[in-house]
Amino acid sequence: MSDGERTVRASVAPRGAAAPSPPRDDGLPAAEPPGEEYSTGQPGWQFITAAVRRGAWLWATTAVLGLIIGAGYYTRHASYQATTSVVLVPNPVELPTDAILTDIALAQSHTVAAQAVRDLGLRESPSSFLASYKVTTVTDRVLQISLKAPSSGEAVRAAHAVAAAFLHYRAEQFRAEEQHALTALQLQVTQAKQQLNTLTTQINQLAAQPATPEQRARLTALRAQRLAAQTQLPALQQAVTSGQVTTRQTTAQLVQGSQILDAAMASPSGRVKHAALYAGGGLLVGLVLGLVIVVVRALVSNRLRRRDDVAHALGVPVRLSVARVQGPRWRPGSRGLAAAQRPPVQRIVAHLRETLPRGDTRPAALAVVAVGDTQGPALSLISLALSYAQEGQRVMLADLSHGSSAARLLGVRQPGIGTVTVDGAHLVVAVPGDEVALGPLLPAVPPGQQPDPELSGAAASADILLTLVQLDPSLGGEHLPTWARTAVIMVTAGQSSWTKIHAAGEMTWLAGTKPVSAVLLDADKTDESLGAARPATAPARPDPRLAAPAPADPRPAAPAPADPRPAAPAPADPRSAPVPSAQADEAWRISRR
């Protein structure tokens, strides 16, 4: 096996008959033949890598889309970053660690953001502007302000405005605290003077009263209190004055010592860094999303890819599996008739040559039943027809596929019968107007179903009749034996479910055309299955068409040729007949004709 291609030459039990169990030497009964179940393989590492390789176009597309979306988002929200730093004098009444946290809170406050917006003349809200910058601590005395804006100049101006608004607001806070402290000190002097005046009034009132021992004692005490208040008042006034001076000096140090340390400056690598982050992030997200879709789709898919599964669904061994028939569109000579020279096509042609029945009857007919894509089967059948035509054979190619894939490759667009010349080889191409048209190989002509006389005449003069067919359960396949008694079923891997493939095989069998082999196109390199048809455990079903009486043949009966094989009871279903040898099979084909 190389590049997904494999030829199988296996001895396969006939369809509808159970394979005999080989004798065992240990005396134990032989194993039962496999049932009708099928398996798409264990989802191991090879399964996942094969699915990823097949879905490369999907995850590559999602990755590119993610890259484009990320780059577009960055372009729409492109930003330059500018940074500035301020040095601060800590408040002496607070711990340095607490003071720097307070300064960070002030710098990120709604008030500072609103002041910066007013200074810049912006129309955005303070909350939106607040989200464009952040404040971090460098030391317990230095803060760094980083701000993003659509342009470098705007970022620098906005960072400077935030730093200035923060220092201004911080200075106002300290001046307010200074005013509160000065007011408290002045209140102490005022209260001391009020107390002194109160004592003087009480003394004057008490001195005007009649003298009594109690009056004299009370007067003496009040005079002593007034003397003490008069003594303390100058000292208090001096302390208050000194406190006011100290408070003003402290406030001046806090305000004047706190200033911008480094002027706002745009970061030179900020734009490139953010562009790489947005684009790379979009690329990564798109790639991961595409890979997940590919793997999940492969896990839940019911489409067959393994040779064993296809052979089991058809009941016919997969005798040949090839890689992709047509290459990428960008590669020269990989599409259309030019792809006929590709090795996979030539391998299929060689296999069809071995399959084509040859005998005394003319024309030698072979049908290719396409399941899934029709381009690969059409190209292979055209290449086979051209090879015979170049050898001097008269070849007729009939196209009964949906869309007439083979005829279109040869340039035939309309239904009818005509001659096409390709590289000096002449082909008769027949495109019936009906996909279930009767062919020229009618053993007996049913009433009301006459073949096209022109078609019959063209087939009578041909040496080889090749037919491309697609079977539809809604239309039936009763017309297939009128085109060929032998068929090769070509299945494109990963395009059809088990039910569809099984239906194609059943319709071919029930129509009376013998499928001799199956060809798997676009096979996986990781497929290690053999592709031999599994023997069925259920008894063969009789063909209902065999029980119906055949229509009378108006032509005189001819004696049937003798069958060289030993006489054997006829099976109920032609599919249950034993597989003959090569010589006996050829003689049987001649006798059938």
- Looking at residue 16, its pLDDT comes to 39
The answer on pLDDT for 583 being more than 90 is no
Question: What's the pLDDT band for 539 if we cut at 50, 70, 90?
Answer: very low
Closest Cα partner for 372 from 206, 544, 522, 531?
Answer: 522
- Looking at residue 136, its pLDDT comes to 92
Q: Please give the distance of CA 223 from its chain centroid, rounded to a whole number.
A: 99
C-alpha distances out from residue 581 to 501, 505, 565, Å: 28, 23, 10
- Walk across the sheet containing 259-266 and list its strands: 133-137, 142-149, 80-87, 259-266
Closest Cα partner for 129 from 102, 144, 153, 150?
Answer: 150
CATH class of 302-327+358-443+451-536: alpha beta
The answer on pLDDT for 14 being more than 60 is no
The answer on pLDDT for 281 being more than 80 is yes
Question: What's the pLDDT band for 115 if we cut at 50, 70, 90?
Answer: very high
Dihedral, CA of residue 566, residue 572, residue 576 and residue 581, to nearest 10: 20
Which residue would you say has higher pLDDT here, 337 or 498? 498
This model's pTM is above 0.95 = no
pLDDT in tens, 309-336: 899 999 899 999 998 887 555 454 456 6
- Looking at residue 348, its pLDDT comes to 93
The answer on pLDDT for 113 being more than 90 is yes
Question: What's the pLDDT band for 269 if we cut at 50, 70, 90?
Answer: low
The answer on pLDDT for 144 being more than 50 is yes
Lowest mean pLDDT among 117-121, 224-228, 589-593: 589-593
Question: What is the average per-residue pLDDT within 268-284?
Answer: 77
The answer on pLDDT for 263 being more than 70 is yes
The answer on pLDDT for 564 being more than 60 is no
Question: What's the pLDDT band for 447 if we cut at 50, 70, 90?
Answer: low
Question: What is the average per-residue pLDDT within 510-535?
Answer: 84
Six-digit token pair at 323?
């890689």
Question: What is the average per-residue pLDDT within 384-407?
Answer: 90
Kindly report the CATH number that applies to the domain delimited by 78-268: 3.30.1890
- Looking at residue 211, its pLDDT comes to 80
* Three-point CA angle 2, 334, 350, nearest 5°: 50
Question: What's the pLDDT band for 254 if we cut at 50, 70, 90?
Answer: confident
Question: What are the structural domain ranges in the chain?
Answer: 42-77+277-300, 78-268, 302-327+358-443+451-536
Question: What is the share, in percent, of the chain residues with pLDDT greater than 70?
Answer: 78
Lowest mean pLDDT among 31-40, 191-200, 490-499: 31-40
Question: What is the average per-residue pLDDT within 398-403?
Answer: 89
- Looking at residue 273, its pLDDT comes to 73
- Per-position DSSP letters for 163-192, written without gaps between them: HHHHHHHHHHHHHHHHHHHHHHHHHHHHHH
Q: How much is the mean pLDDT over the chain?
A: 78
pLDDT in tens, 155-205: 899 999 999 999 999 998 888 888 888 888 788 888 888 888 888 888 888
The answer on pLDDT for 450 being more than 80 is no
- Looking at residue 501, its pLDDT comes to 92
Residue with tokens 């997940």: 292
Question: What is the average per-residue pLDDT within 40-58?
Answer: 73
Closest Cα partner for 467 from 455, 454, 452?
Answer: 455
Lowest mean pLDDT among 167-181, 193-207, 280-294, 523-537: 523-537
Question: What is the average per-residue pLDDT within 347-359?
Answer: 89
Question: What's the pLDDT band for 468 if we cut at 50, 70, 90?
Answer: very high
Question: What's the pLDDT band for 35 if we cut at 50, 70, 90?
Answer: very low
- Extract the runs of DSSP E, i.e. beta strands, from 101-232: 133-137, 142-149
- Looking at residue 74, its pLDDT comes to 75
Give dist(CA 464, CA 200) in Å, integer: 143
Question: What's the pLDDT band for 31 if we cut at 50, 70, 90?
Answer: very low
Same fold, 78-268 and 302-327+358-443+451-536: no
Question: What is the average per-residue pLDDT within 27-52?
Answer: 54
Q: In sequence order, what are the residues at sequence separation of 6 or more whose Cβ sits closer than 8 angstroms to the Cβ of residue 345?
A: 325, 339, 379, 380, 383
* Three-point CA angle 218, 189, 241, nearest 5°: 140
The answer on pLDDT for 588 being more than 60 is no
